[in-house]
Amino acid sequence: MESAIDRIPSSLYRDLSKKLVDIVLGTKDRDAVPADLAKKIIYLWRQDQLASNAGIKTLLEAAQLVDVQSTVKLLEEHGLKELAIMLENF
């Protein structure tokens, strides 16, 4: 799946990161995202790196844990069908 993430055009990073953050923060389940992953997101946010390759990878991991269907839908809306299928079957 990592190779599919690496093929995401950098022009989509900013919009994807904002929407993935919305998915992650929108959860009512406080335990949906493990503490170490949450710390990594906070670190990347402080470094202004959420809209980078590493940020997208981290946010996708968290969003998948929170709401896989919304994450798949978001990827499909951005023309990332291959990644959406991989995520759905992961």
Q: Is the pLDDT of residue 16 over 90?
A: yes
Q: How many CB atoms lie within 10 A of CB 13?
A: 17
Amino acid (one-letter) located at 11? S
pLDDT average, residue stretch 54-63: 96
CA–CA dist 68, 76 (Å, integer):
12
Q: Given pLDDT bands bounded at 50, 70 and 90, which one contains residue 5? A: confident
State how many domains the chain has: 1
Q: Count helices and strands (H / E) in the chain.
A: 6, 0
Q: Given pLDDT bands bounded at 50, 70 and 90, which one contains residue 77? A: very high
Q: Given pLDDT bands bounded at 50, 70 and 90, which one contains residue 59? A: very high
Q: Is the pLDDT of residue 3 over 90?
A: no
State the residue range of the domain holding 53.
2-88
